[in-house]
Copies of this chain bind each other. A is one copy, B any other.
């Protein structure tokens, strides 16, 4: 039997700095704009929402940003995370490709999200913040911030998209186990929520609405801040610990990726694995193909417009230039809840515009097929989001077979599927379909972009 090989990094080699891609880009990303003045915002504009240390990371152009020791001390509970050579998968595919996967499911919350939840909680604690409000879709982010909040003794209040709140009571229970409170969104607790409920009392909610509610709560109180689990520069920055470890681990394996594959919703796990390799390339190192896999039902990179847009539905956030389907876009129901966001991280959008990455959109059934194949040979059942990356890596490996070339493929297995068994049950029962988004809905959402959109 072929052997799965594990590359474990000694704790002493866990990264001491996060990597900031902005320092190496040929062009800086476009500025964030104030929605009222349409002028670039400054750090002070964000101060009601975030502690200043995170704002300074958001706008930093330094290449390396130190990971504070208290954060490293918590990271050490599960980091460095393992990198595996998927020899059994290679054999099953009969491919000459060398497939590596970085496994982020080893964190207590089961995904990559604690990589940013922990530093966000740390910096908030340092700033004297008592409470953090946030939103969550499928619950990966909400539970990760609940975990981090418990460790730093910060209250965490999660607005959870109502339909997920109802469909995923176990994710909610996980947040509550860590002491967070969880409110279905839209709720009566905010003006944003109330205005939506007034129009439709049984509104199923959306990530954009939940963001509006959390932002509103955070802006109201001095001791309360807001936290986002993806999209923003500082979130992507924290996730680079993944790729930095993978770089060192592939060195142990005496290998280097020809292709890096990640799934994209807001873009943070993708950036986490890919940016350190892009940085190497930009600094004159070996070039790498970087492939973003997004859901065909919510295809911001492949079908969205690169434009200034709001991050939320009630338009309480600043304007960022990103690939967007429009802030009112509602994707059809599919199971990778973590990939259901109308926009793409501005920094991922920017590197896409610069031609540094490719993007592909996949339907869900083929992704579940790939995930089950992966589980049966590699033993780990991926989250539905991660199945997109697995599908992408398998397709790359099959291409290697077709072309008769051996390439090294690195994929980010960003989380396990233990909380997504309903999705697998539906898949096995043949209940899943490959839904497309509604073209008219997309056109309408795009027509609602702010007038500054194409600036």
Contact = CB atoms under 8 A, between A and B. Distances in A.
Contacts of A152: 1
Interface in A137-160: 147, 150-152
A76 interface: yes
A177 B381 contact: yes
A-side interface size class: 35 or more
A84 to B, nearest CB: 7
A174 B275 CA distance: 33
B11 A8 contact: yes
A442 interface: no
Contacts of A422: 170, 173
Given A177-B375, A177-B424, A424-B173, A6 B11 contact: yes
Contacts of A177: 372, 375-376, 381, 417, 424, 428
A64 interface: no
A425 B379 contact: no
A418 B151 contact: no
Contacts of A11: 6, 8
A251 B424 CA distance: 43
Given A11-B6, A418-B418, A419-B418, A379 B173 contact: no
Interface in A205-236: none
Copies, count? 2
A167 interface: no
B381 A108 contact: yes
A381 B84 CA distance: 25
A359 B380 CA distance: 35
Nearest to A425: B173
A102 B116 CA distance: 26
A4 interface: yes
A74 B1 CA distance: 10
A164 to B, nearest CB: 14
A40 B287 CA distance: 69
Nearest to A8: B11
A250 B120 CA distance: 33
Q: Dominant SS at the A interface? A: helix
A331 interface: no
Contacts of A110: 418
A449 to B, nearest CB: 40
B77 A379 contact: yes
B150 A379 contact: yes
A178 interface: yes
A342 interface: no
Nearest to A168: B421
A322 to B, nearest CB: 33
A106 B81 CA distance: 11
A379 B6 contact: no
B173 A73 contact: no
Contact of A178 (B77, B106, B376): B376
A170 to B, nearest CB: 4
B150 A377 contact: yes
Contact of A4 (B77, B88, B169, B417): B77
A379 B169 contact: no
A126 B422 CA distance: 35
A42 to B, nearest CB: 32
Interface of A: 1, 3-4, 6, 8, 11, 70, 73-74, 76-77, 84, 88, 106, 108, 110, 147, 150-152, 169-170, 173-174, 176-179, 372, 375-377, 379-381, 417-419, 421-422, 424-425, 428
